[in-house]
Amino acid sequence: MSDLFDLSGKVAVVTGGAGLIGSSLCDGLAAHSATVVLVDIDEDAAAKVANAIDGDIVVKRVDINSEPDVEALFESVVSHFGSVDILVNSAYPRNKNYGEQYENVSLSDWQENILLNLNSYYLTCKKASEIMKQQESGGSIINLGSIYGAQAPDFNVYSGTEMTSPVEYAAIKGAIINFTRYLASYLGEDGIRANVLSPGGVFNNQDDTFVEQYEANTPLSRMAEPTDLKGPVVFLSADCSRYMTGQNLIIDGGWTIK
């Protein structure tokens, strides 16, 4: 049974690999013997993450909204490692105004933030799938969604804080979930699986009031930790989920059952 989780010989490209979630995903994949290509725009942060991981990992500085950058990334990965077996999109590019209350979001900020995210997912998925089509083993695409891509936010958890759930976030994550279903349907005949990993709220030293209110609405009575996502990403990457595609795997401590 343990062989079903073994990623030996697999090459995993992880965007946003220097981030809170992305770094944990890289660690989980490397721990199960995948060769991990950590992709991030912040090369220094990426190097620190890579140095802290025990495994086969390399860093690539890439602007995932640049088509030439994305093309060069995948050409380099194939040239050096021979394949692209796993793509994990965990990057979340956004502009400096991201996070405003709904009433204060301008049309230009709405457009920029949505395009930054959806364009980058489209570019990386398209290039990775072109390579995976040529591989006998196909591949696995994993896109990061969110519980707020599957249901509306509960704004009560933000009461008494300056926090909110940005309107762009709901649109972006909802789109990613259905985009991934499209990929699963379109690419299935090529042996390519596409699934979504949707976390609930991940603890990141948020406002104490928010944390208390969020945890009070979660059956497991806590926010997620980045390490809670290691097992799920390995599961979606490995042979143990080889007959699973087009699914939205929700990791939320039971938040969405209420």
Q: How many CB atoms lie within 10 A of CB 160?
A: 12
pLDDT at 258: 82
pLDDT at 9: 97
Kindly state the tokens that stand for 150.
């599957």
Kindly state the tokens that stand for 64.
């995932």
Kindly state the tokens that stand for 83.
């394949």
Would you write out the chain's pLDDT as a tens digit for each of its 258 residues?
568 999 999 999 999 999 999 999 999 999 999 999 999 999 999 999 999 999 999 999 999 999 999 999 999 999 999 999 999 999 999 999 999 999 999 999 999 999 999 999 999 999 999 999 999 999 999 999 999 999 999 999 999 999 999 999 999 999 999 999 999 999 999 999 999 999 999 999 999 999 999 999 999 999 999 999 999 999 999 999 999 999 999 999 999 998
Residue 98: closest CA among 172, 16, 24: 172
Task: Give CA–CA dist 42/60, Å, rounded.
Answer: 9
Q: Which 8-state DSSP code applies to residue 46? A: H
Taking a C-beta distance cutoff of 8 angstroms, is the pair 147, 210 a contact? no
Decide: helix, strand or coil at residue 41: coil
CATH of 2-152+162-203+226-247, one of 1.10.10.10, 3.40.50.720, 3.20.20.150, 3.30.465.10: 3.40.50.720
pLDDT at 1: 53
Decide: helix, strand or coil at residue 144: strand
Q: Where are the domains of the chain?
A: 2-152+162-203+226-247
Looking at the DSSP bridge assignments, the partners of residue 15 are: 39, 89
Residue 10: closest CA among 88, 76, 67, 83: 83
